[in-house]
Amino acid sequence: MTQERSACLGLWVLLLLGAALEEVVVEGCSCHPAHPQQLFCSAEIVIRAKISGEKIVSPSNSSSPYMKMIQYEIKMIKMFKGFDKAKDIQYVYTPVFSSLCGVKLDSNNKAGYLLSGSTWSDGRISIGQCDLVESWDNLSLSQKKNLNYRYQMGCECRRRSSFFRDSRETQLTRMEEQILRYCDERKRVLVD
């Protein structure tokens, strides 16, 4: 093979590799798809709130831009879950960058949201893309009703996905069967 032909072949290989690499999608934040009830049940706090303001804050011990958070000032309308974790929530926090699972909420028109999240050791509430964060107006009537009672009552009714079962475990345990029968009889919300 001549040098010219070898160089041409090398160039084609580089072009093909370059094109293939451009197709690779890199995500910094990824969440497992979940039903709203699963998100409700796994959250420490679930509230309905209006966003009244926002500002960028950073922890006192860090100057890194990646540690900055958006502090949303909220007016809590109703608490659905987390009565034992917080009484009066005035702020929720989320990372500035969506690649770190931060969420962008509309603070200009005092929009209403359903927010779920977790509490930090200092009592602050953290929300992110993997939590239940939805405009209140986008929720169905059924979802709004389920927030008041059925989602909480159905938390014990969640089933483990068969995908995550141990290969030796092919049938439901006796306890799982009893729970599912209880849930079916009472028309609880069940999540696969």
Query: Which residue numbers belong to the known binding site for Zn(2+)?
Result: 29
Give exposure, 67-80, as e/b (b: 16+ Cβ within 10 Å): ebbbbbebebeebb
DSSP bridge pairs for 172 = none
Nearest to 71 by CA among 58, 62, 83: 58
| Rounded CA separation 98/56 (Å) | 14
Q: How far is it, in rounded angstroms, from Cα 186 to Cα 175?
A: 17
Going by the annotation, the residues of the binding site are: 29
* 3-class DSSP assignment, residue 21: helix
Tell me if 115 sits within 8 A of 46, measured CB to CB.
yes
